[in-house]
Amino acid sequence: MVIAIDGPAGSGKSTIARLLAERLNFTYINSGNLYRAITLRCLRKHISPTDPEKALACAREAYIDYQGQQVLLDGEVVDSLLHSDEIDAWVAQLSAIVPIRHVVNDLIRKIAQGKHVVVEGRDITTVVFPDAEYRFFLDASPESRARRRYLQGISQLSLEEIADGIRKRDEIDRNKAEGSLKIADGVVYLDTSDLTIEQVYDRLIEKIQI
């Protein structure tokens, strides 16, 4: 079974996907973290994430997998490194490179094969798993999403700077040549701006039949 969760950055996808996976005992896959891992690898190798040919080669040479709910990059657990301001500044541009999207999408399908999974990320419900048994699109206002990121305490930026970055990233995501941010037909839409995580969980789990 595949439960696919789509939506913009900061809408609560990761938190709710982790919670669903834990409570249902499903495998959790975060597509955004796979792009972030490739971005990290490029930066470590002094490759510009906006250089299509070199970034693609970097992606193809990477060994990326999941160990439980943790991302392995070339054998190293890198979760704590994936949400830095530097990664945030580059990941949307790297993920707009179409051949890299193909690499990541193939990797997601490979990891998910033969498993019950909760997989989240932009374009999961439209491109990667358009036929998933359950598809959800979580949304929230830019202000609400920025506040959540700010309260995580990871970023060194101000609340206003985070909000501005989110708006710019939304613009990039909406205009990607492939895998753009959009709500597909048949997807359950939920605005999480004023909902707690448990309220979001309750709204989703009532739609899911195990």
88 closest CA partner among 12, 192, 179, 168: 168
Vertex 97: Cα angle to 137 and 190 (nearest 5): 5
153 closest CA partner among 68, 80, 94, 91: 80
Is 8 known to sit in a ligand binding site? yes
DSSP assigned state of 7: -
Instruction: Render 36-72 in DSSP notation, one character per residue.
Output: HHHHHHHHHTT--TT-HHHHHHHHHH--EEEETTEEE
Q: What is the CA radius of gyration of the chain?
A: 16
Is 95 known to sit in a ligand binding site? no
Is 121 known to sit in a ligand binding site? no
Is 10 known to sit in a ligand binding site? yes
Is 176 known to sit in a ligand binding site? no
Is 13 known to sit in a ligand binding site? yes
How many other CB atoms are there within 10 angstroms of residue 159's CB atom?
A: 14
In this structure, are residues 184 and 130 in contact, taking their beta carbons and an 8 Å threshold? Answer: yes
Is 141 known to sit in a ligand binding site? no
The secondary structure element, H or E, covering residue 119 is strand 117-120
Which residues define the annotated binding site for ATP? 7-15
Which residues define the annotated binding site? 7-15
